[in-house]
Amino acid sequence: MCYAIPGKVKEIGEKSVLVDYFGETRKAINEFYDVRIGDYVCAQGGFVIKKVSPSEAESTLSAWQELFFELKQIDLRLSRLDLKNKGIDKRLSSILDNALENKSLSLEDLLYLFNTESRSGIELIYKTANFLRQKYIKNSCCVHGIIEISNYCTQGCMYCGISTHNKALGRYRMTHKEIVDSALLAIEEFGFKAILLQSGEDAFYTADRLADIVAEIKAKAGVLICISFGEIGIDGLEKLYKAGARAILMRFETSNPKIYERLHPGRSLNTRLDHIKKAGQIGYLIMTGGLIGLPDQTREDIINDIYLAKELQAEMYSFGPFLPHPETPLASNSPPNEDDVLKALALTRLIDPEKSKILVTTAFETLCPDARRHGLLAGANSVMLNVTPIKYRKQYSIYPNRAYDKEEITTQIKETIALLQSLGRAPTDLGVN
């Protein structure tokens, strides 16, 4: 999934190639392959992940050609923006006009948007975000697969259902072989081109052991590997990069240091941020973000979170609702409502319209049934499918009643493709110009 439609190499630079997709060109970093002009490659997240034979490429391209343009038309139609909205207050109109003209919005402007309560006003914010998504990124939608390799965790994060607070939870740890096999199944059988490996901070899975797993998957398949194992140290980040991982998902959870420290006993926001910055310097694509609706978190905090993610040069923004888990100290808190989450996604698009991938998280899909469609129509352009073996999924209980705990991969793919097609989105990761 996340079909990397093969593209034809048009130009070759020092470290990158220019790839043509049905007349549109994109740049991709090429580290591993010997490619010449006219070769076909698959790229993902801006990296060439695979060379493809001409016969395979041409058959995939001919299957896609008609659909590719059809989907673009549907998307264009659904993302049209009617600026002559009646009954919209002047200030809201003027802020959204500025966003459309690519002028930067002040904190006050963004707060004004966040505090908008009228239905017509809220809908216009979402539509503006969707319009900007279409304008800059077109209709490609990333569909990554996640494998949750272990729910052991040494940390006591106050909100997290796999933290040390949860004494009732049965723990599991996939073996090296199970992880490699699951990844290869997702890549070879189901067509995933980007796989996220995630776990709690599990002392068994040292950076060396994780690096062996990443290296074996990379040796056997063309894929973008993204890691998410918590704070594995700078040395660990380097080892995993050397092994072939090229993206990291590490949320800073909240940019408010007081809230951060209250929720993460013994840890500091600065250390977290150092990890993320260092990962960026090493060369990882950064996926980051935070939780929406934490106790004592204000709307201003959430806007600051988005600014911080932008400052960290997020390739993908990952913001999802905090969902209280009964076996944690925050059990009696309430989750945010759907509009708070959608507003955060839409504001993210307004703050970083041109290049960002914005994820509809599984937590959001757990909070409300139509989250994926609503999120994709409010600025988001990325989803994550769960390819962890079903027997383990329920135990990866970071929050309760997680969506997709029981669905086969084939069912998830079918549903995702149907939704994306209805919205005119292509499950591709062509990257940006």
For residue 414, the minimal CB distance to ligand 5AD (Å) is 26
Query: Which residues is 52 bridged to in the sheet?
Result: 40
CA 364, 411, 142, 163 dihedral sign is positive
Cα radius of gyration (the chain): 21
State the DSSP H helix or E strand holding residue 20, giving kind and residue range, or none if neither. Answer: strand 16-21
For residue 362, the minimal CB distance to ligand 5AD (Å) is 9
Q: Compare residues 195 and 423 and give the one whose CB is closer to ligand 5AD.
A: 195
Q: Compare residues 114 and 159 and give the one whose CB is closer to ligand 5AD.
A: 159
Backbone φ, ψ for residue 50 (5° rounding) = -170, 145
Q: Compare residues 13 and 257 and give the one whose CB is closer to ligand 5AD.
A: 257
- Give the DSSP letter of residue 358: E
425 residue type, one letter: R
Compute CA 36 distance to the chain's CA centroid, rounded to the nearest angstrom.
Answer: 31
Cα angle for residues 170, 171, 176 (degrees, 5° grid): 150
Backbone φ, ψ for residue 230 (5° rounding) = 80, -155
Backbone φ, ψ for residue 247 (5° rounding) = -140, 150
State the DSSP H helix or E strand holding residue 304, giving kind and residue range, or none if neither. Answer: helix 299-311
For residue 181, the minimal CB distance to ligand 5AD (Å) is 23
Residue 310 to residues 162, 291, 313, 354: CA-CA distances in angstroms?
Answer: 28, 15, 5, 12
For residue 395, the minimal CB distance to ligand 5AD (Å) is 14
Angstrom distance (rounded) from CA 111 to CA 180: 45
Give the β-pairing of 247-249 and 224-228.
parallel
Q: Compare residues 260 and 322 and give the one whose CB is closer to ligand 5AD.
A: 322
Length of the chain as a residue count? 433
For residue 335, the minimal CB distance to ligand 5AD (Å) is 8
Q: Compare residues 216 and 253 and give the one whose CB is closer to ligand 5AD.
A: 253
Angstrom distance (rounded) from CA 195 to CA 180: 11
Angstrom distance (rounded) from CA 54 to CA 42: 12
Q: Compare residues 280 and 295 and give the one whose CB is closer to ligand 5AD.
A: 295
Q: Compare residues 289 and 379 and give the one whose CB is closer to ligand 5AD.
A: 289
Q: Compare residues 224 and 384 and give the one whose CB is closer to ligand 5AD.
A: 384
For residue 408, the minimal CB distance to ligand 5AD (Å) is 23
For residue 334, the minimal CB distance to ligand 5AD (Å) is 12
Angstrom distance (rounded) from CA 120 to CA 111: 17
For residue 347, the minimal CB distance to ligand 5AD (Å) is 18
Q: Compare residues 142 and 398 and give the one whose CB is closer to ligand 5AD.
A: 398
Q: Are 362 and 323 in contact (CB under 8 A)?
A: no
Residue 136 to residues 123, 252, 352: CA-CA distances in angstroms?
Answer: 20, 27, 10
Binding site residues, ligand 5AD, CB under 6 A: 159-161, 251, 253, 291, 320, 322-323, 325, 363, 398-399
Closest by CA to 255, choosing from 221, 305, 330, 289, is 305
Angstrom distance (rounded) from CA 206 to CA 403: 29
Query: Which residues is 3 bridged to in the sheet?
Result: 428
For residue 88, the minimal CB distance to ligand 5AD (Å) is 33
For residue 157, the minimal CB distance to ligand 5AD (Å) is 7
Q: Compare residues 191 and 329 and give the one whose CB is closer to ligand 5AD.
A: 329
